[in-house]
Amino acid sequence: MLTEIPKAHVPGKPQLTEPRTLENGELKLVTSRDWTSGFFPGELWYLYQYSGDSKWLNAAKKYTDLLQQEQWNGGTHDMGFKMYCSYGKGYRLTKDTAYRCILIQSARTLITRFNAKAGVIRSWDHGKDKWSYPVIIDNMMNLELLFAATHFTGDSSFYRIAVTHANTTLKNHFRTDYSSWHVVDYDTATGSAIKKTTHQGFADESAWARGQAWGLYAYTMCFRETGDSAYLRQAQHIAAFVLHHPSLPADKIPYWDFNAPGIPNEPRDASAAAVIASGLLELSTYSAQHAKAYRKAATAILQSLGTKYCAAPGGSKGFILLHSTGHKPGNSEIDVPLNYADYYYLEALLRYQNLP
């Protein structure tokens, strides 16, 4: 992929720097503002962690530095995806104080989107004809940046906002079977949830696969950072929903939506599978009662991804996993490689390797 990126540069658009997917078989690059821009640098950091080879360190630094201006971008909730998956991984491996400063500023920028009355961080600024104050389940993943900022600074305001958002989401985003809606709209005057929809799933009441994966992973992370048993129980409940769902295929790579109408003739989502595997491996370290089952399921997912969902070596412009689904209702990124699928796959492999 490092050799393919220069070939994919668009004349007159030097701001297109980070690989996101394949579009009509060609490598699609995105700007630093794109929500997925931090995943490729994160992959390079993981390759450096795995190998210790300085070539990956140099590449990771190069592609991480391209995101520096995003620390000030208050127009998005995706600061964790962009900055923690890149600078956060870089800081963990290098202890570069410049990275830490950028992460702290990124967290400060993120909390400007917090509304105390509703108790959540706003997700999207677009779609104002559809939502007043939308919050998506994906936003739970960005809380890890706020927990990190608390560790770096000792300022508990980051922690309080993260916990408040997690608690509000736990209250409003989940159904009785522990599946989640994708988007919850809030009334910031009263703080109440006024509408619940599933924008990237099959229907409002369906279980969009990657949304379930985000919830599983994020509440596991929240338990790690807080020790709050409510988060551990939530993660366990989501895991049970996913792993025992009748539409989960034998190879444990979910369809893009657990309730998609054309199962078994529906696209899979390897990205959701990779996030689930990584989340389950961490969750197994906190759940003695379920550890064996979680590790067995995660191992099965990784075996499936590594045998049936991998690109040929040197193929697919350097992407690792095939068969992910980005936004099927929007007819966007269906059955293609995606950078976040590769990121969480590498993370899951490293977590598997480092299991106690």
* pLDDT at res. 340: 98
Tell me, yes or no, whether 319 lies in a domain: yes
Q: Is the pLDDT of residue 171 over 90?
A: yes
The C-alpha R_g of the chain, in whole angstroms, comes to: 19
* pLDDT at res. 356: 82
Mean predicted confidence (pLDDT) in 204-208: 98
Tell me, yes or no, whether 146 lies in a domain: no
Share of residues in the chain with pLDDT > 70 (%): 100
> What is the value of pTM for the model shown?
0.98
Domain with 346, as residue range(s), is 209-356
In the 3-class helix/strand/coil scheme, how is the chain assigned residue by residue?
Answer: CCCHHHHHCCCCCCCCCEEEEEECCEEEEECCCCCCCCHHHHHHHHHHHHHCCHHHHHHHHHHHHCCHHHHHCCCCCCHHHHHHHHHHHHHHHHCCHHHHHHHHHHHHHHHHHEECCCCEECCCCCCCCCCCCEEEHHHHHHHHHHHHHHHHHCCHHHHHHHHHHHHHHHHHCECCCCCECCEEEECCCCCCEEEEECCCCCCCCCCEHHHHHHHHHHHHHHHHHHCCHHHHHHHHHHHHHHHCCCCCCCCCCCECECCCCCCCCCCECHHHHHHHHHHHHHHHCCCCCCHHHHHHHHHHHHHHHHHHCECCCCCHHHCCECCEEEECCCCEEEEECEHHHHHHHHHHHHHHHCCC
* pLDDT band, very low/low/confident/very high, at 93 (cuts 50, 70, 90): very high
* pLDDT at res. 182: 98
Catalytic residue (one of 53, 125, 138, 204):
138
Mean predicted confidence (pLDDT) in 97-101: 98
The total number of structural domains that make up the chain: 1
Q: Is the pLDDT of residue 180 over 90?
A: yes
Q: How far apart are CA 99 and CA 122, in angstroms?
A: 25
pLDDT in tens, 227-267: 999 999 999 999 999 999 999 999 999 999 999 999 999 99
* pLDDT at res. 314: 87
Q: How far apart are CA 354 and CA 356, in angstroms?
A: 6
Which residue numbers belong to the known binding site for substrate? Answer: 78, 138, 198, 210, 214
Q: For this structure, is 138 an active site residue?
A: yes
Q: For this structure, is 155 an active site residue?
A: no
* pLDDT at res. 2: 97
Mean predicted confidence (pLDDT) in 297-321: 97
Share of residues in the chain with pLDDT > 90 (%): 98
**Rounded to an integer, what is the distance from CA 255 to the centroid of its chain?**
17
CATH code for the domain in which residue 305 is found: 1.50.10.10
Which residue numbers belong to the known binding site? Answer: 78, 138, 198, 210, 214
Catalytic residue (one of 78, 185, 257, 342):
78
Average pLDDT, the chain: 97
Q: Is the pLDDT of residue 330 over 90?
A: yes
Tell me, yes or no, whether 253 lies in a domain: yes
* pLDDT at res. 98: 98
Tell me, yes or no, whether 180 lies in a domain: no
Tell me, yes or no, whether 289 lies in a domain: yes
pLDDT in tens, 116-156: 999 999 999 998 899 999 999 999 999 999 999 999 999 99
Tell me, yes or no, whether 39 lies in a domain: no
Q: How far apart are CA 89 and CA 284, in angstroms?
A: 22
* pLDDT at res. 284: 98
Tell me, yes or no, whether 318 lies in a domain: yes
Tell me, yes or no, whether 321 lies in a domain: yes
* pLDDT band, very low/low/confident/very high, at 329 (cuts 50, 70, 90): very high
Position of tokens 């990275």?
Answer: 99
Residues paired with 28 in a beta bridge = 21
Mean predicted confidence (pLDDT) in 299-322: 96
Q: For strand 114-115 and strand 26-30, is the pairing parallel, antiparallel, or unpaired?
A: unpaired
